[in-house]
């Protein structure tokens, strides 16, 4: 007697609950479609444009952050090193090579939720194109770890996974159709503590 109403109710709960959960998960899991992957670095060049998909627009609205337009710059994110291992706050890395052409760039570290790591005034937590020492060929080498080092160094002392965020400001690469040919810096693991 109650079998049919219970089945209908169960079906509705699964349909609406599953639909709401999957939409919420999708909005939190991605910045949209159309990612460009260059080695370990990835970017969403259409994220701020009219070509952005509905998921990207909803994600942008939910975050409440101002993003760079395609003509203004490009944000690349790395969550793994060159071997494909996830970046950890307990490890030391070397970021080396060159960036695509840009008027200005910044490199910072964020946690898995994209929040900046806690900063202490005496330690650098970000570098930019004006403060980074380079070799004669224009390449650079940045050490990222918990122990201060001479030269280019960013402090990394966290307990969980991290991501490196490279922001290129006023770059011709953002409007280029040959983005896949860009040279990005490599991320090499030096070692890990407590592992």
Distance from C-alpha of 94 to C-alpha of 116, rounded to nearest angstrom: 19
> Cβ neighbours of residue 39 under 8 Å, at least 6 residues apart?
82, 184, 186
Task: Find the mean pLDDT for residues 142-159.
Answer: 89
User: How high is the pLDDT of residue 71?
Assistant: 59
Helix (H, G, I), strand (E, B) or coil at 122: coil
User: How high is the pLDDT of residue 13?
Assistant: 87
**For the whole prediction, is pTM greater than 0.85?**
no
45: exposed, middle or buried (C-beta count within 10 Å: 0-12, 13-18, 19+)?
buried
User: How high is the pLDDT of residue 165?
Assistant: 92
pLDDT value at 129 more than 80 = yes
- Give percent of the chain above pLDDT 90: 26
User: How high is the pLDDT of residue 111?
Assistant: 87
User: How high is the pLDDT of residue 96?
Assistant: 94
CATH number belonging to domain 31-192: 2.60.120.600
User: How high is the pLDDT of residue 177?
Assistant: 55
Q: What is the pLDDT of residues 64-120, one digit of tens each?
A: 555 556 557 788 889 999 998 999 989 999 999 998 888 899 999 998 877 777 777
Distance from C-alpha of 80 to C-alpha of 10, rounded to nearest angstrom: 42
pLDDT value at 156 more than 70 = yes
Distance from C-alpha of 95 to C-alpha of 22, rounded to nearest angstrom: 36
Q: Which of these, 157, 72, 65, 63, lies nearest to 118 by C-alpha position?
A: 157
Which DSSP helix (H) or strand (E) runs through 153? Answer: strand 153-155
Q: How confident is the model at residue 52 (pLDDT cuts 50, 70, 90)?
A: low
Distance from C-alpha of 189 to C-alpha of 195, rounded to nearest angstrom: 13
pLDDT value at 150 more than 80 = yes
């Amino acid at each position: 007697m109650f079998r049919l109403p219970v089945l209908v109710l169960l079906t509705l709960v699964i349909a609406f609950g599953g639909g709401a959960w999957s939409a919420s998960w999708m909005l939190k899991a991605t910045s949209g479609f159309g990612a460009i992957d260059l080695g370990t670095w990835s970017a969403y060049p259409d994220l701020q444009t009219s070509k952005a998909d509905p998921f990207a627009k909803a994600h942008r609205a939910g975050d409440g952050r101002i993003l760079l337009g395609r003509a203004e710059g490009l944000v690349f994110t790395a969550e793994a090193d060159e071997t494909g291992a996830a970046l950890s706050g307990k490890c030391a890395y070397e970021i080396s090579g060159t960036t695509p052409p840009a008027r200005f760039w910044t490199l910072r570290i964020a946690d898995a939720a994209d929040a900046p790591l806690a900063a202490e005034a005496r330690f650098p937590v970000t570098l930019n194109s004006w403060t980074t020492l380079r070799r004669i060929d224009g390449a650079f080498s940045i050490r990222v770890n918990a122990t201060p080092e001479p030269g280019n160094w960013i402090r990394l002392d966290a307990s969980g996974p991290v991501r490196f965020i490279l922001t290129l400001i006023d770059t011709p690469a953002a409007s280029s159709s040959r983005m896949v040919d860009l040279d990005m810096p490599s991320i090499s693991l030096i070692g890990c503590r407590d592992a």
